[in-house]
Amino acid sequence: MEDGHLTIGGRHVPLRDQVLQALRVAIVNGDYPPGQRLTEDRLAADFGVSRNPVREALRVVEAEGFVVVLPRRGAVVATPTSSTIADMFAVRARLEPLAARQAAERATRDDVASLHAMLEEARKATDTQDFPRISRLNSALHLRVIEISGNRWLSSLATALYLHVQWVFRLGVAERAPHSWIEHIALVEAIGSGDPEEAESAALAHVSAASSAAHENARTGYSREAGSQRPHA
């Protein structure tokens, strides 16, 4: 695998954790798209490790919902279902408006400047259709709003959630990205203006639009464009 995913084992992090992180990134970025069979031998070759840490990593990502084990097929990258998406957006619909409201109340000039810098990065990534970067920035912006909110309870809930948000967004990024960042501009402007009501409203509108798009993507099936152009066995 490219872009720093290979070869691992040289860093001072337990090997099983390195493999787990690399596998998560590969799934979330679409290198292994939904329905892709994940054999221990192929993953071991991809990551340059033995099968043991791969086996441990597969157990974890299965528990996290990124992988399912099917009869006669083994481990396969999961396909987000309408039920999974509905549950995720039910949480986002509560979390993001509150985070936006509190961010509008507490944001400093430097905080707002950091959000505008992320929007500019996203604009450039959208112009060049750098879909993995767009997906990372999408989650990063939401996590930054939560950080600005100063609500540690929201922060404690966010890490695992936004890994899945990034995954679902990545699967429909080609169609969703331009709309998403227009909505993000409205959100950041509301936070920057110090208007909690407007920020909350912008966040709720964004979640609603994202939910509709994700459900439509699940209904019509996930395009191979969401994944890498590189085939995997």
SS (H, E, C) 8-61: CCCCCCCHHHHHHHHHHHHHHCCCCCCCCECCHHHHHHHHCCCHHHHHHHHHHH
Helices (H), ranges, 128-195: 131-149, 152-171, 173-192
Same domain, 92 and 116: yes
SS3 content of the chain, % helix, strand, coil (to 5): 70, 5, 25
Same domain, 136 and 188: yes
pLDDT at res. 160: 83
How do residues 210-222 score in pLDDT, each as one tens digit? 999 999 988 887 7
Same domain, 97 and 172: yes
pTM value is 0.84
**Domain hosting residue 37, numbered range:** 15-79
Q: What is the CATH number of the domain that holds 45?
A: 1.10.10.10
Q: Cα(158)–Cα(168) distance, rounded to whole angstroms?
A: 15
User: What total number of domains does the chain contain?
Assistant: 2
Q: What is the pLDDT of residue 233?
A: 31
pLDDT tens digits, the chain, 233 residues: what are they? 555 455 565 557 789 999 999 999 999 999 999 999 999 999 999 999 999 999 999 999 999 999 999 998 899 999 999 999 999 999 999 999 999 999 999 999 999 999 999 999 999 999 999 999 999 999 999 999 999 999 999 999 898 899 999 999 999 998 899 999 899 999 999 999 999 999 999 999 999 999 999 999 888 877 544 444 333 33
Give the SS3 label for residue 68.
Answer: strand
Among 79, 100, 128, identify where a domain stops: 79
Residue 6 maps to a domain: no
Could you tell me if 207 and 112 lie in one domain?
yes
Q: What is the pLDDT of residue 37?
A: 96
Asked if 191 and 106 sit in the same domain, the reply is yes
Bridge partners (DSSP) of residue 75 are 69
131 plus 215 within the same structural domain = yes
State the CATH number of the domain containing residue 208: 1.20.120.530
End position of a domain, from candidates 62, 79, 96: 79
Q: Which tokens belong to 123?
A: 């604009």
Asked if residue 66 is part of any domain, the answer here is yes
Here the tokens at position 207 are: 């979640």
